[in-house]
Homo-oligomer: A and B are copies of this chain.
């Protein structure tokens, strides 16, 4: 039986039409206590509302009903990759998040400094949450070791967190974690979860032993814990699946890294929405699919700042005419997940989605907001259905069967 991506690969054709996917990170929300309206419903968005009137609205389930997605699965769903099938390891995600340029075969691990007591037992799994500056200084002690021909690169992330990358021939990712996830016990040894990973396990254990020696005088950060050992996944490329020339316009390292994993060209751009639009304009002729990422709404939601999230959405709405001037055949505005200010974190609520194209069958929606989206023409669908819909409306799919 054929499934989603196979079917796209079979049916997709090249054509001159353009698709723009504008991802407003954390777009979905929950109502404000006083108004009963969500962030998106509160925002004054005449341009989005006009697009909603002319196009189709709906709600997207990113992973599944009731499941709160992280940023990576949230985006993978929008790109058409079922996040339950296409998994990216935690170590790789942490490396992508700091913009680390992972090579094929590299093993990345999430790490953190911790405190050991005199008996060698973990007394604090986060080493008293040392500063990022201290973290950076301590990472330098660990960075650059060479063990059995394998180079170990250690880089700080934030506070007590770090990334360790093992680079060399013949490494395997099937490794257990060293972090016991509790205090009062010693760090665990790494063990191989598959026979071919035994050498890699020995190398990692040697690294940890040397790290312990080098950190011995640096209490509270006198040890490291590692978990999520993983290699950059070998996903099918969007260009092969959809026969598209695909570009990403995103300023945060995490999203740039994610875009590379699915084979997008990641364009140089600045931090603002205006920068992103300039990049889009300059590259508009060269590609036929653009992923544009806007971070601000998610950050405001995570901070529990309802009003700031409203402002971010209004800023995007004001910028839309510049995007629309390019006349993309298909424009999608959606999020990778909801981040309601009321919860101050990612949530499981389905994500509002707006698709504009001249081939949309009209629905009765004239305002872009969660309540209206529920009654929209797209229905409540899996995020993985978004790319097939975008491709269809861009007239980039041939008929299935005669």
> How many Å lie between the Cα of A385 and that of B66 in the bound state?
7
**In the complex the two chains form, is B371's CB within 8 Å of A67's CB?**
no
Copies of this chain, complex-wide, total: 2
* A90 B348 Cβ-Cβ under 8 A: no
A149: interface (CB < 8 Å): no
Q: Complex Cα distance A88/B88, Å? A: 37
Interface size class of A (residues with CB under 8 A): 35 or more
* Interchain CB contact (< 8 A) of A401 among B38, B83, B391: B83
The answer to whether A233 has its CB under 8 Å from any CB of chain B is: no
**Interface residues of chain A: helix, strand, loop or mixed (majority):** loop
Within 8 Å by CB of A65, from B364, B374, B385, B402, lies B385
**Contact in complex: A397, B348 (CB < 8 Å):** yes
CB distance from A88 to the nearest CB of B (A): 7
> What B residues does A379 contact at CB under 8 A?
374, 380
Say yes or no: A389 contacts B66, CB within 8 Å.
yes
Contact with B along A80-99 (1 / 0, CB 8 A): 00011101101001100100
Asked if A172 CB lies within 8 Å of chain B CBs, one says no
- Determine if A71 is an interface residue (Cβ-Cβ < 8 Å): yes
Within 8 A of B (CB), among A193-230: none
Q: What are 10 contact pairs spanning A and B, CB under 8 A?
A: A30-B359, A36-B362, A65-B385, A66-B389, A67-B397, A68-B399, A69-B400, A70-B399, A83-B400, A361-B370
